[in-house]
A and B are shown apart, each in its own frame.
Chain A
């Protein structure tokens, strides 16, 4: 075979490629005139079309977050020509010195190029924009970029909604969609549903004449892309209930979460103290943000899903459930209470009530001694061979209630909470000679190392309301008006405790609000059967924390609530009314107990805190 002939084929291939490149270049550069740029070289302008961010609506379709127009004044320094700085300064509301200063800063900015658009003035008012637009021809090199900013129809739920801010360099590195100057949801729903809310940017390639007028689109818009508006989000919050919760707790520190037990939808979730979400929008954002970040009362901290609170006596309910499941407790088991629980040198005090009590009564009266006995009976049962093994079994049951790890709510900031492991006690109590059931007995009443989020507590109330299962609490209901609840939010989670054991617990929680000795008997709602459990957790930083969880109506519950108020005192006095009023508001639409409402509104936790210190 003669291979020499192949050199001609190779030569022909080279010539063919060369010819193809030349033809294509000739077409691009000479034939196709649409790529030509007119002589002044600044006829093209890439204007990014920023889509409006998706709306956020509440469960009744009321707008919570929408948008308002804003205008950024951009400048391409190379295209500037000498202009009347005095007139310009006057229009944009600056002094001539400020204008010069802005230019100086622009030049120092990272990524500055005299060929590229730089933002000269962000978020002009519509009035400034109107005046400027008419005189734009006097200022070559400048143009206005329209954008939208968040606008809060209801000034509520700042932690839950989250805020929107300009992207930083790490956002740009993570996702090439973002370009400097873009906005991104940084926390809350705005962050969790960023992909849905942001929509899609478009770009218009415009032709601009020598008088700085936009005269049309380049290549008939063939290179343009349409911006796609962000999807609107319907979340499960009831804006009225949310607003009411925030009002009730306006002078308190703590959090409240309300859940619809039948779906796991979060009806309200407030963390106090809070702030007006509108403070973190626009030019005032960074100043306000710094102010809030420095505030000693930590208004930016989301106490509903990030704070670890000891559950206090509400946790007794969990002890009862585990005891029933492990077989170390029955509904009618009675333990005596001699004004507390006393073993040797150990003393846990209790308040005065009838004795001995059975399980429902002990829940209703919140007897400390009873649940210390219940807890120790579980750990010392020998069911699993050792105290440590029984403790781990107890802990695993507790974890199935949703404590100790993130529930998986659709918020980026959620934290785990803590149910201490036996290994933790091995480690920390080792030098005290190990541990036994009495060493950790304060866990029985929800003290010590136990920490849960208020969301977890509300979820716990919801699962009791359901009689033994829960749906992962979530906010999402619809995207663009279509039901879009991910499958994992529609899944029932059963606990390790058999559903048959829940009736005794519900009975006890009903006693708490109805029985003469019930710890929450003051907050009964006329005409509505409510089940609840109070809690008063010791706080090393001052007065006790007040807590309360509840659900109503007793049969076919429609709402489950957990309230936590820092440094307030007794749970039945300070936390229970908040839950009671919210339930009344949600179920009946109005509140008929103005005195109780008034008392909550006049509460001031800060006085309490100082008195205690």
Chain B
């Protein structure tokens, strides 16, 4: 039996140090981003940096409160908090205030609160509680369904606001599920789907290569798995022959097939044959490969539909801009270009504190919130950006270590939730400012201006530290 938890002694001061460093750097950059000569004092309450300071102080108070409370407070309140959170998300759709076309804010007096920021905490606690209770048997069907429901109920409300960016954050929980036993193939499927999505958009004029490439990969995989060279060649010959036949036959009709349509047709026609063979010859690998290939092909061809009919115009354009297929510096690509110019113009050492010009031009509309990283890049140069990136990565790795040293399931799952959420925010936010990812409006943890996100991240992190401090106890 370990001696009783002493918060001051047992809490992870390294993480707190990183946290303090990051929020102070964030604050200085918000000051720089909205700086103007009229309100030069960094403590000016009417300006964003003044308000952010108030929120930072409140966040520290929150952090202390979170640490003082007993761990059982978090475990026992996990479900009630989750339910309250769902109610708040539903309520905000009705009585919320609309800002920039999304109904995602509560107005309480002069304070605006964004419940979707706090929903992450509720989901993390509830997921930790649930997985803790079912003792790691995630892969039982019932448990998996409940876990997914816990994760995806809140984003269903959030997408109605609509705030697609905040919904994407919930994909982070797949990392948690992966750690707790979700087969990597499911993640691989997800990644493959994303790759195919991008490829089929990029290769719209060359779909024949995409289809042919997929089929060839299928046959090669078959050969690697079974080493049946002749069978492989026969199957491939059959495929090529049938495609040619289809294409020639349709030449005679009015509507000629494109070559990739002929290839797709042949693949679809042959798949029952291959499936039959797999059963007769008892070759399950053929079955898997065939189903996989057909799935991939159909997915590829449904991309156009999804892209044109499901996504909204601005989402479509953001993806096209990210893929470099549409250049429109005054329109959708404008933010990204300005952001890249701002960061790029910083050079190695940057222009110096308050000396940035690009970020002050109001060229980048969200310069103190989603695009705060531009200010870092412009004023502090590569020295500044690499410092921030390294600090953030260090924080993430530290969280990973903390997560792995938990003994109780509840704590470990919760720690992974926190880690995953931070990881996704950092990747997406910095990725979009430097043009690696499409523009998705989510904040950079501890940097972006805004009380709700700062408080939510703080609470998220400090519950984790509180759990970690009590890692000697059995928490459930």
Q: Interface of A with B (CB < 8 Å)?
A: 1, 3, 6-7, 10-11, 13-15, 17-18, 20-22, 24-26, 28-30, 32, 34-37, 41-42, 44, 46, 48, 113-116, 176-177, 179, 201-203, 205, 223-225
The residues of A that contact B36 with a CB separation of less than 8 Å are 113-114
Contact residues on B (Cβ < 8 Å of other chain), bracket: 35 or more
Across the interface, name the chain A residue whose C-beta is closest to B355: A41
Whether B427 lies near A17 (C-beta < 8 A) is yes
Which of the segments B25-33, B39-47, B146-154, B338-346 contacts the partner chain? B338-346
A48:B330 contact, CB within 8 angstroms: yes
A18 cross-chain contacts in B, Cβ below 8 A: 389-390, 392-393, 396
Q: A29-B347, A29-B348 are in contact. Are A21 and B389 (CB under 8 A)?
A: yes
Inter-chain CA distance A22–B431, complex, in Å, is 11
Q: Are A36 and B345 in contact (CB under 8 A)?
A: yes
A216 to B257, CA, bound (A): 49
Q: Would you call B357 and A42 a contact (CB within 8 A)? A: yes
Cα(A7)–Cα(B363), bound, Å: 41
Determine whether the beta carbon of A225 is less than 8 Å from that of B423.
no
What's the Cα separation between A46 and B427 when bound, in Å? Answer: 30
A558 → chain B closest CB, angstroms: 43
Q: What's the minimum C-beta distance from B306 to chain A, rounded to whole angstroms?
A: 24
The complex places the Cα of A48 from the Cα of B330 at a distance, in Å, of 9
What is the bound-complex CA distance between A198 and B139, given in angstroms? Answer: 59
Report the 8 A-B pairs with minimum CB-CB distance, sorted nearest first: A35-B344, A18-B393, A29-B382, A37-B345, A28-B344, A115-B361, A41-B357, A25-B385
B362 nearest CB across to chain A (Å):
6
Complex Cα gap A203–B338 (Å): 13
Q: Does B381 contact A (CB under 8 A)?
A: yes
Segment with Cβ contacts to A, from B68-76, B175-183, B258-266, B453-461: B175-183
B351 touches A20 (CB 8 A): no
Q: Mark B396-429, 1 if CB is under 8 A from A, else 0.
A: 1100100110000000000000010001001100
**Which of A1, A15, A25 interacts with B382 by CB under 8 Å?**
A25
User: Binding site of A, secondary structure by majority: helix, strand, loop or mixed?
Assistant: mixed
The one of B178, B382, B389, B434 in contact with A6, judged by C-beta atoms closer than 8 angstroms, is: B178
Q: Which residues of A contact B37 (CB under 8 A)?
A: 114
Smallest Cβ-Cβ distance to A17: which chain B residue: B427
Q: Which residues of A contact B385 (CB under 8 A)?
A: 25, 29
Q: Which A-chain residue is minimally distant from B37 (CB atoms)?
A: A114
Query: Does the CB pair A30–B390 fall under 8 Å?
Result: no
B235 CB within 8 Å of chain A = no
Question: Across the interface, do A25 and B377 meet the contact criterion of CB distance under 8 Å?
Answer: yes
Contact at A3–B357, with CB atoms within 8 Å? no
Residue of A nearest to B395 (CB): A14
Inter-chain contacts of A113 with B (CB < 8 A): 36, 360-362
Closest to B136 in A: A3
- B146 smallest CB distance to A (angstroms): 19
In the bound assembly, the distance between CA atoms of A181 and B419 in angstroms comes to 47
Q: A3 and B181: CB pair below 8 A? A: yes
Is B430 located at the chain interface by the 8 A CB criterion? yes
Q: Could you tell me if B329 and A7 are in contact, using CB atoms closer than 8 angstroms?
A: no
Apart from A26-B382, A29-B385, A113-B36, 10 more pairs, CB < 8 Å:
A18-B396, A29-B344, A29-B346, A29-B347, A32-B344, A34-B344, A37-B345, A44-B341, A116-B362, A223-B341
Q: A7-B400, A36-B347 are in contact. Are A225 and B175 (CB under 8 A)?
A: no
Q: Is B386 an interface residue, CB under 8 A from the partner? A: yes
Contact: B436 with A15, CB < 8 Å?
A: no
- The majority secondary structure among interface residues of chain B is helix
Would A29 and B381 count as touching, CB distance under 8 A? yes
Cα distance, A18 to B397, chains bound together (Å): 11
A35→B178 CA distance, assembly (Å): 40
- Chain B residues whose C-beta falls within 8 Å of the C-beta of A225 in the assembled complex: 327-330
Interface: B124 (CB within 8 A): no
How many Å lie between the Cα of A44 and that of B347 in the bound state? 16
Distance in angstroms between the alpha carbons of A10 and B181 in the assembled complex: 13
Q: Which residues of A lie under 8 Å from residue B400 when comparing CB positions? A: 7, 10-11, 14
Could you tell me the distance in whole angstroms from the C-beta of B401 to the nearest C-beta in chain A? 9
**Cα of A355 to Cα of B351 in the assembled complex, Å:** 99
A14 to B385, CA, bound (A): 17
Q: When chains A and B are docked, how far (Å) is the Cα of A13 from the Cα of B381?
A: 25
Assess the B341–A35 pair: CB atoms within 8 A.
yes
Nearest CB to that of A223 among chain B residues?
Answer: B329
User: How far apart are the CA atoms of A22 and B423 in the complex, in Å?
Assistant: 15
- Contact of B347 with A14 in the complex, beta carbons under 8 Å: no
Distance in angstroms between the alpha carbons of A376 and B403 in the assembled complex:
92
B337 within 8 A of A: yes
A1 to B360 Cα, complex, angstroms: 54
B396–A14 contact, CB under 8 A?
A: yes
B377, A24: Cβ atoms under 8 Å? Answer: no
Cross-chain contact of B377 among A7, A29, A34 (Cβ < 8 A): A29
| Chain A nearest Cβ from B364, distance in angstroms | 12
Return A487 CB to nearest CB of chain B, in Å: 23
Q: Do A20 and B362 touch across chains, with their CB atoms under 8 A apart?
A: no
Q: Which residues of B contact A13 (CB under 8 A)?
A: 423
**Which chain A residue has the least Cβ–Cβ distance from B337?**
A223
What residues of chain B lie closer than 8 Å to A25, measured between beta carbons? 343, 377, 382, 385-386, 389, 434
Given contacts A3-B180, A24-B436, A25-B389, contact A30 B351 (CB under 8 A): no
**What are 5 pairs between A and B in contact, CB < 8 Å?**
A14-B400, A25-B389, A36-B345, A36-B347, A113-B360
Report whether A22 and B175 are in contact in the complex, using a CB–CB cutoff of 8 Å: no
A570 and B178 alpha carbons, distance in the complex (Å): 90
Report yes or no: B434 in contact with A30, Cβ–Cβ below 8 A.
Answer: no
Q: Judging by beta carbons under 8 Å apart, are B343 and A28 in contact? A: yes
Nearest-CB residue, chain B, relative to A219: B341
**With A and B bound together, what is the CA distance between A207 and B471 in angstroms?**
59
CB distance from B94 to the nearest CB of A (A): 24
Most chain B beta-carbon contacts within 10 A, residue among A29, A36, A177: A29
Nearest Cβ distance between residue B405 and chain A, in whole angstroms? 11
A41, B361: Cβ atoms under 8 Å? no
| In contact, B329 and A205 (Cβ under 8 angstroms) | yes
A7 to B331, CA, bound (A): 42
Which residues of the partner chain A approach B327 to less than 8 Å between Cβ atoms? 223, 225
Smallest distance from the beta carbon of A180 to chain B beta carbons, Å? 12
A7 proximity list for chain B (CB < 8 A): 179, 400, 403-404
Q: How far is the CA of A127 from the CA of B360 in the complex (A)?
A: 35
Asked if A14 contacts B423 (CB within 8 A), the reply is: yes
Chain B residues with Cβ under 8 A from A17's Cβ?
Answer: 393, 423, 426-427
CB distance from A90 to the nearest CB of B (A): 31
User: Which interface residue of B327, B361, B426 has the most chain A CB atoms within 10 A?
Assistant: B361
Bound-state CA distance A267–B181 (Å) is 76
Nearest-Cβ distance from residue A470 to partner chain B, whole angstroms = 38
Residue of B nearest to A28 (CB): B344
| Contact assessment for B430 and A28 in the assembled complex, using a CB-CB cutoff below 8 Å | no
Which residue on B lies nearest to A203, using beta carbons? Answer: B330
Cα A21 to Cα B175 in complex, Å, equals 20
Question: In the complex, which residues of chain B have a beta carbon less than 8 angstroms from the beta carbon of A30?
Answer: 347-348, 382
Q: Which residue of B lies closest to A7 (CB)?
A: B404
- Tell me the complex Cα distance, A14–B355, Å: 32
Instruction: For the complex, give the distance between the alpha carbons of A384 and B346 in Å.
Output: 83
Q: State how many angstroms separate the Cβ of A474 from the closest Cβ of chain B.
A: 29
Which residues 345-372 of B have a CB within 8 angstroms of A? Answer: 345-348, 351, 355, 357-358, 360-363
Question: CB-CB < 8 A to B343: which residues of A?
Answer: 25, 28-29, 35
Is A28 touching B434 in the complex (CB atoms < 8 A)? Answer: yes
Q: Which residues of B contact A15 (CB under 8 A)?
A: 393, 397
CB closest chain-B residue, reference A11: B400
The minimal Cβ–Cβ distance linking B288 to chain A, given in whole angstroms, is: 20
